[in-house]
Structure 1
Amino acid sequence: MAAKILVLGASGAIAQHVIEDLKDDKNIALTLFARNINGLQEQAPNAVIIKGDVLNKEDLQEAVKGQDIVYANLIGQVDKMAGEIVKTMEAEKVQRLIFITSLGIYHEIPGKFGQWNDRMIGADLVRYRHAADIIEGSALNYTVIRPSWLTDKNETDFETTQKGEPFTGTEVSRKAVAAYIVSLLKNQEKDNHASVGVQKPGSQGDKPSFY
């Protein structure tokens, strides 16, 4: 029986790579949810497409009901969205959540790179940390993903760190983060109840190479 996977924020750049990897997999039934659904049906003809807003309870409930896995790729009020997703999943008895946040939410980046990261996105990290706290405090089987600074390079190399370990890689491609997400979706024993940093091997430095 095909695994039912809901992608929230399906028009996002990382999600687009995930969808591309999964759209022809006969063992997966995709539901794609976004505020702007333009092009999604053409990209994934076999997927169910839902136009909606995560912060609209009826939209979210319709999308979550009956799913096996929810993968959230969201921007904006991520903490408020995390709260609504957790409540809806718990109500609908859907257990598995994969949720993208940001590097730096636990002050886990040492040295000059950590200082640079705080200067650049410190204000945004409050919302991402709150989102992670909500998810980690839930009854769900979650994987919180903390990608490094994102590039559009055509590469899929990545390495991971666990919560409590130093995060040192300054960048990673969106395609590589997508490859990690696909590995989670296809192996449901991997990184359960975990917060995982994703970085490009060998990308340590004081800041990303493109700054």
Structure 2
Amino acid sequence: MTTVLILGAHGQIAQLAREQLLTQTDSQLKLFLRKANRLSIRDVQREQIIEGNTTNQAALVAAMTGVEVVYANLAGSNIEQQAQSVVTAMQSAGVKRLIWISTLGIYDEVPGRYGQWNHQMLDNGYLPTYAAAAKVIEESDLDYTIIRPAWLDNHDEIDYEITHRHDQFKGTEVSRKSIAALVTHLIQNPTEANRDSLGVNKPNTEGDKPKWY
């Protein structure tokens, strides 16, 4: 039985991962978010809700008591600061395994016209800050996996393929449910993809941009 701390537990992917973890595993879940009233307990035997801010070191360290895996589903203009706070807290608490949701394009790994379009959409403060956050994690001693999803949709499907840190990114889109499934898989297989950065896309979705644009 694994105890998982979910940071940003109200996020869409985090809620899908929570559902999969409750139905497919016996993991204990600590649900960390800024406003606790946004969530309610589904399983009183396996879940705990913790209100807090990821920039609060003391709150993070306390939440990590007894935790084996930290899954961070965070966002915001201060994402680099949040990354540093999470890394420092994990080091203080003695927790090694981190699953971190980022975005495609942080290594300039998206080729061709799709890469150009992605830059146009995300360069305005988004890609640089997420790239800086990933660098903080990669320079740590943690057993991290960074996940870089393609553009996200809400399709009720699990269908994805993976590229690695030094590969070119592939397709243009992927479902949030697929990313949640990958997170669930990594929690169940904690030695897989350690110190790697995974690009995730739905197969056969190559193009100049996602089809809904």
Same fold, TM-score > 0.5, yes or no: yes
Look up the match of 2:202.
200
Q: Is the 8 A contact 2:41 2:47 kept in 1?
A: no
Q: Identify if the C-alpha distance between structure 1 residues 26 and 154 changes in structure 2 by more than 3 Å, giving closer, same or farther.
A: closer
- How far is 1:43 from its partner? 3.6
The CA deviation string for residues 54-103 of structure 1, in whole angstroms up to 9 with x for no partner, is: 01122211112221000000010211100000001011110000001110
- How far is 1:187 from its partner? 0.8
Q: Is the 8 A contact 1:23 1:47 kept in 2?
A: no
Look up the match of 2:19.
20
SS where residue 74 of structure 1 aligns?
Answer: coil
AA in 1 matched with 2:52: G
Q: Is the 8 A contact 1:66 1:92 kept in 2?
A: no
Distance (whole Å) between structure 1 residues aligned to residue 39 and residue 31 of structure 2: 8
Q: Is the 8 A contact 1:72 1:98 kept in 2?
A: yes
Aligned identity (percent) is 43
Look up the match of 2:79.
78
Q: Is the 8 A contact 2:7 2:73 kept in 1?
A: yes
AA in 1 matched with 2:40: Q
- How far is 1:26 from its partner? 5.8
Look up the match of 2:166.
164
Equivalent runs, 1:30-179 vs 2, <5 Å: 30-45=29-44, 46-76=46-76, 77-123=78-124, 124-179=126-181
Structure 1 unaligned runs (5+)? none
- How far is 1:42 from its partner? 3.6
Distance (whole Å) between structure 2 residues aligned to residue 65 and residue 25 of structure 1: 24
The CA deviation string for residues 157-180 of structure 1, in whole angstroms up to 9 with x for no partner, is: 000000110102101000011011
AA in 1 matched with 2:85: E
Look up the match of 2:186.
184
Distance (whole Å) between structure 2 residues aligned to residue 20 and residue 36 of structure 1: 19
Q: Is the 8 A contact 2:163 2:170 kept in 1?
A: no
Q: Is the 8 A contact 2:55 2:85 kept in 1?
A: yes
AA in 2 matched with 1:31: K
Q: TM-score, normalised by structure 1?
A: 0.96
1:210 to 189, 208, 212: 212
The CA deviation string for residues 137-173 of structure 1, in whole angstroms up to 9 with x for no partner, is: 0010000010010001111100000011010210100
AA in 2 matched with 1:138: S
AA in 1 matched with 2:146: V
SS where residue 114 of structure 2 aligns?
Answer: helix
SS where residue 37 of structure 2 aligns?
Answer: coil
Instruction: Kindly report the root-mean-square deviation, in angstroms, between the aligned alpha carbons of the 2 structures.
Output: 1.2
- How far is 1:195 from its partner? 0.4
Q: Which moved more, 1:41-50 or 1:155-164?
A: 41-50
Distance (whole Å) between structure 1 residues aligned to residue 43 and residue 36 of structure 2: 11
Distance (whole Å) between structure 2 residues aligned to residue 126 and residue 148 of structure 1: 17
Distance (whole Å) between structure 1 residues aligned to residue 141 and residue 9 of structure 2: 25
Q: Which moved more, 1:32-41 or 1:187-196?
A: 32-41
SS where residue 23 of structure 1 aligns?
Answer: helix
